[in-house]
Amino acid sequence: MNNNQWRVGIFLFDDVEVLDFAGPFEVFSVTELEDDEKPFIVEMVSEKGNIINALNGLKVQPDYNFENMPQFDILIIPGGLGASEHEMHNDSVIKWIANQMKSVQLMTSVCTGALLLAKSGLLEGKKCTTHWAFLERLEKEFPEVDVQQGVKFVDEGDIITSGGISAGINMSFHIVKRLLGQEVAQKTAKIMEYDIIF
């Protein structure tokens, strides 16, 4: 992998919110450099590698499981009912997320994926955000976390959290801009016909 290419891993689980993972998938997948080079390789990973039943019935086949996945440079932890109600109590997932922090360049979350980062101990003493309907729960269950309201995303260097559902798209554009510059981010937004101010 060359210096201008990053491997993006997106964690999937049952009852994941579709746009939480599909939005970032789209942004990173369509990003191109001037020579049509793809700077991001985007792949899906789940705990077991089995077909995931996302919210509202969408079925997705992950590329990898925890055992055979490659090392990712950027890891995206989406949300949805599966995150807030099930994966929060899945010790193997929480340990996996904590362990991934040792090797990724960027750990990110969308929506209630922030609850999983907090449960993994990664947000202690850091600013973060989540879906507006879960801000209070995040504050209550994890008082050591500095929860931010009214923002699309919070960049804390090696950890970036974003608000609900579509906010993951804004966060992804921010990452593209941070890694590759505003011109590439604007070009990607134009391809997607997505209105965003950089």
pLDDT single digits (tens) 14-45: 999 999 999 999 999 999 998 889 999 999 99
Q: Write down the pLDDT at residue 2.
A: 45
pLDDT single digits (tens) 123-181: 999 999 999 999 999 999 999 999 999 999 999 999 999 999 999 999 999 999 999 99
In a domain, 55, yes or no: yes
Q: Quote the tokens at residue 63.
A: 């590329």
Q: Write down the pLDDT at residue 1.
A: 40
Q: Write down the pLDDT at residue 35.
A: 86
CA 124 from chain center: how many Å?
Answer: 18
Is the alpha carbon torsion for 140, 142, 143, 149 positive or negative? negative
pLDDT single digits (tens) 53-99: 999 999 999 999 999 999 999 999 999 999 999 999 999 999 999 99
CA 194 from chain center: how many Å?
Answer: 19
Beta strands in the chain (DSSP E): 6-12, 40-46, 52-53, 59-60, 74-77, 106-110, 127-128, 146-147, 153-155, 159-162
Give the sheet arrangement for strand 40-46, strand by strand: 40-46, 6-12, 74-77, 106-110, 159-162, 153-155
Q: Write down the pLDDT at residue 4.
A: 72
C-alpha–C-alpha distance, residues 99 and 91, integer Å: 12
Q: For residue 132, give the CATH number of its domain.
A: 3.40.50.880
Q: Write down the pLDDT at residue 59.
A: 98
pTM exceeds 0.85: yes
In a domain, 1, yes or no: no
- Expressed as residue numbers, the domain containing 16 is 6-192
In a domain, 25, yes or no: yes
In a domain, 20, yes or no: yes
- Count of domains for the chain: 1
C-alpha–C-alpha distance, residues 23 and 64, integer Å: 20
In a domain, 88, yes or no: yes
Percent helix, percent strand, percent coil in the chain, to nearest 5: 40, 20, 40
Q: Write down the pLDDT at residue 3.
A: 60
C-alpha–C-alpha distance, residues 19 and 76, integer Å: 12
pLDDT single digits (tens) 107-120: 999 999 999 999 99
Compute φ and ψ for 78, nearest 5 degrees.
-80, 180
C-alpha–C-alpha distance, residues 37 and 31, integer Å: 9
Burial (CB count within 10 angstroms: exposed 0-12, middle 13-18, buried 19+), residue 14: middle
Burial (CB count within 10 angstroms: exposed 0-12, middle 13-18, buried 19+), residue 34: exposed
